[in-house]
Amino acid sequence: MFHGSIVALLTPFKNGKVDEAAFQSFVEWQVAQGTHGLVPCGTTGESPTLSHEEHNRVVELCIEAAAGKVPVMAGTGSNSTEEAIALTRHARKAGAQAALVVTPYYNKPTQEGLYQHFKAIHDAADLPIFIYNIPGRSVVDMSVATMARLAKLPNIVGVKDATADLARPSRLLQEVDPDFIQLSGEDATALAFNAQGGVGCISVSANVAPALCSAMQTAWAKGDLKEAFRLRDVLAPLHDAMFVETSPAPVKFAASQLGLCSDDVRLPLVPASEAARSAVRAAMTRAGLLK
């Protein structure tokens, strides 16, 4: 169900509140542009600064706007196991097809702690779960052995791998069922990740270049390597620009340039600097997104 170009959705704000109309319009545009799946309330969606009520509402709005046309993987992670369970239960009730659960940040659990955290969520919420392994933000790295152990649980179905370790998917394939879904969390190496055993990417750049990201993944799946590599190279400067400053400030500015939403972010993040804005505009122009 989850493959290809899956967008890590930004959350539009207006006057300090979630801009519900802009968000649903944005989701509908993503579907029309060919995005293969949607992830609300991830890091790109500024989940750390959403209240529980806002978090749940954004998930509901996404599912409603998607209207069953593409699957929704709701971000439900937390460094509190009980909070992650509550968010995952809500996602299931709301109609999400899966949950994306990040490794607990700040706590720095052991590998056994990671296993028990995910097992507790698995046992408490009847919903397929993707492990989100992102050491750069959570300061803990789930080992291949721990992930393989979790993969034996029936509802642990895949991983969003943001380690930037391109040997990791190949190593994991040796330890898990071939049906275990490996998705990249790094736009710049998405095709290389596929070559190592992945089947798609949960993408930041797809917020503003959904058609290009989708076309690249589709070309790869069809074996059209020439086209996949061409699109990879078209997108490369954009991927760099999306992280010229802390995400999602650059991608929100990029979205504002397309008239999709404002570039408002919540503290402690601040809007992209002028230097970052210049870099984003240049990359968007080079990719054909702006004239």
* 44 annotated ligand binder: yes
Is residue 119 part of the annotated active site? The answer reads no
Annotated catalytic residue within 14, 108, 119, 132 = 132
Task: State the CB neighbour count (10 A cutoff) for residue 260.
Answer: 19
Do the annotations mark residue 202 as ligand-binding? yes
Please tell me the distance from the alpha carbon of residue 210 to that of residue 228, in angstroms, as a whole number. 14
Nearest-angstrom CA–CA distance, 159 and 10: 20
**Catalytic residue among 69, 93, 152, 160, which?**
160
Q: Are strands 13-14 and 17-18 parallel, antiparallel or unpaired?
A: antiparallel
Contact 194, 184 (CB under 8 A): yes
The dihedral built from the CA positions of residue 43, 44, 49 and 53, taken in this order, carries a sign that is: negative
| 8 Å CB contact between 242 and 19 | no
> From CA 58, how far away is CA 239, in angstroms rounded?
25
* Residues forming a β-bridge with 200: 4
Of 1, 7, 10, 4, give the one whose Cα is nearest residue 254: 10
Q: Which amino acids are annotated as binding site for pyruvate, given as ranges?
A: 44, 202
Q: Which amino acids are annotated as binding site, given as ranges?
A: 44, 202
Catalytic annotation, residues? 132, 160
